[in-house]
Amino acid sequence: MVFQDALTGDAFLTRSTITSSRTIEWETPDGVRTYPLVVVDVSAASHPFWTGSRRTLDTAGQVEKFHRRYGRTAGGRA
């Protein structure tokens, strides 16, 4: 099974029980082989903890989205 980071394109081969209908050609010591492909949103190649970069989160926007969705009651308690 090959997992590929959607943001960076980095890929790695490992074992997994997950299934996928997508495939990829992967170079091995025995030649090129076809493996199932799973595209992931975050891996060590793009995670801020491992890369040392920071992402700006729109926390105020997330709070407003929450209040729009679930409402706000008087007194500030839900």
According to DSSP, the residues that pair with 38 across neighbouring strands are: 3
Residue 78 lies in a domain: no
Range 19-38 average pLDDT? 94
What integer is the mean pLDDT of 55-71?
A: 73
- Note the pLDDT of residue 21: 94
Both tokens assigned to 28: 């091995």
Is-contact 44 57, C-beta < 8 A?
no
At position 71, the amino acid (one-letter code) is G
Is residue 41, in this structure, part of any structural domain at all?
yes
- Is pTM beyond 0.75? Reply is no
Residue 75 falls inside a structural domain: no
Residue 6 has pLDDT above 70, yes or no: yes
Structural domain range at position 15: 2-70
Inside any domain, residue 76? no
Q: How many domains does the chain have?
A: 1
